[in-house]
Amino acid sequence: MVDGHAPLRLLLIGSPGAGKGTQSSRIQDSFDVNSISSGDLLRRNIALGTDIGVQAAKEMKNGALVSDKVMVKLIDQELNKIGSQQSWLLDGFPRTMTQAQALDHTLESSNQPLNLVIHLNVPENVILQRIMDRWVHIPSGRVYNMTYNPPKRAGLDDVTGEPLERRPDDNPETFKIRLQKHHELTEPLLDYYKQRNILVSLAGNTSDEIYPQIRQLLQSRFKPEEEEKVEAGVV
Ligand code: ATP
Ligand code: MG
């Protein structure tokens, strides 16, 4: 529980490559929070060859957005799996105003409104380099960066030992399109949440610079006894 009463219901918003996946993992290492990543969900659907995966593969490969209808349904399903008293964060959703309004509608109908939106504000000139250095473990969504956060064994996931892959949309051409979509469709959400007084913008060049700010922000919201993993000395 957060603030002594409400569980954390958090969005991570940031341009492609801003480190949403990395920050979600770190938050989960320290706090008792469920995480839903829209991109990871889609990549898992593609790997499994589901109907959604088949529909989404082309858009993802081209850097376009998957339809709002598919995304809203997918995320609603995931949110339904989480108990109303549990904290959660969303990474990569909502990405359009239509998605944001659909999410509000879902959450308001169960009386569980969002209570925090964190904007990861990373300068554009460092992001492309980071993307070109990025390798992922598709089944878990774990992200590595060959410069800042390399795997313990080259090319292999730290936890499973399975091979890491490059994402097909992590190339300069597709990245440019993803960035354009972000400016055009996702950035307007920042104003939407700012007006509701739930937006916090955190700046830095690397995830290492930004994470301590997130941690501090969340620590003040979680009761100490719920930082189980921190107390147990895992972090
Ligand atoms: P990063 O993973 O570095 O934060 P990103 O935000 O571009 O970069 P993902 O969130 O993994 O990457 O999304 C990859 C692709 O999946 C998007 O380019 C888009 O095609 C699709 N996608 C993910 N989330 C959504 C969404 N909420 N709405 C529509 N399409 C989405
Ligand atoms: Mg991601």
pLDDT of 227 > 60? The answer is no
Give residue 97's pLDDT: 98
* Residue to probe by mutation, ligand 1, list 22, 60, 67, most atoms within 8 Å of CB: 60
pLDDT digits 0-9 by tens, 107-164: 999 999 999 999 999 999 899 988 999 999 999 999 999 988 999 999 999 999 999 9
The one-character DSSP state at 232 is T
Single pTM value for the model: 0.90
Would residue 44 show up in a list of annotated catalytic residues for this protein? no
Q: Hey, which residues does 199 pair with through a beta bridge?
A: 117
Choose among 156, 125, 128, 153: nearest CA to 140: 156
pLDDT of 179 > 80? The answer is yes
| CA 17 to centroid of ligand 2, rounded, Å | 7
Residue 155, Cα to own-chain centre: how many angstroms? Answer: 23
DSSP track, 101-122: HHHHHHHHHTT----EEEEEE-
Residue 17 marked in a binding site: yes
Across the chain, mean pLDDT equals 91
Domain residue limits, the chain: 9-37+88-232
Q: Can you tell me the distance from the alpha carbon of 204 to that of 18, in angstroms, rounded to the nearest whole number? A: 10
Topology, domain 9-37+88-232: Rossmann fold (3.40.50)
Give residue 221's pLDDT: 80
**What is the percentage of the chain residues whose pLDDT exceeds 70?**
92
Give residue 195's pLDDT: 97
pLDDT of 59 > 90? The answer is yes
Q: Hey, which residues does 184 pair with through a beta bridge?
A: none
Residue 25 marked in a binding site: no
Q: Can you tell me the distance from the alpha carbon of 127 to that of 129, in angstroms, rounded to the nearest whole number? A: 5
Give residue 148's pLDDT: 87
Q: Atom of ligand 1 at shortest distance to CA of 17?
A: 3
pLDDT digits 0-9 by tens, 10-57: 999 999 999 999 999 999 999 999 999 999 999 999 999 999 999 999
DSSP track, 48-66: HT-HHHHHHHHHHHHTPPP
Would residue 178 show up in a list of annotated catalytic residues for this protein? yes
Residues in contact with ligand 1 by the CB-under-6-Å rule are 16-18, 20-21, 38-39, 42, 59-60, 63-66, 71, 92-93, 95, 99, 169, 178
Q: Can you tell me the distance from the alpha carbon of 30 to that of 70, in angstroms, rounded to the nearest whole number? A: 31
Give the CA dihedral 187, 192, 193, 197, nearest 10 degrees.
Answer: 130
Give residue 57's pLDDT: 93
Give residue 220's pLDDT: 82
Would residue 9 show up in a list of annotated catalytic residues for this protein? no
**Count of helix runs (H) and strand runs (E) in the chain:** 10, 7
| Averaged pLDDT for residues 202-223 | 92
Q: Atom of ligand 1 at shortest distance to CA of 59?
A: 20
pLDDT tier, 69 (very low <50, low <70, confident <90, very high otherwise): very high
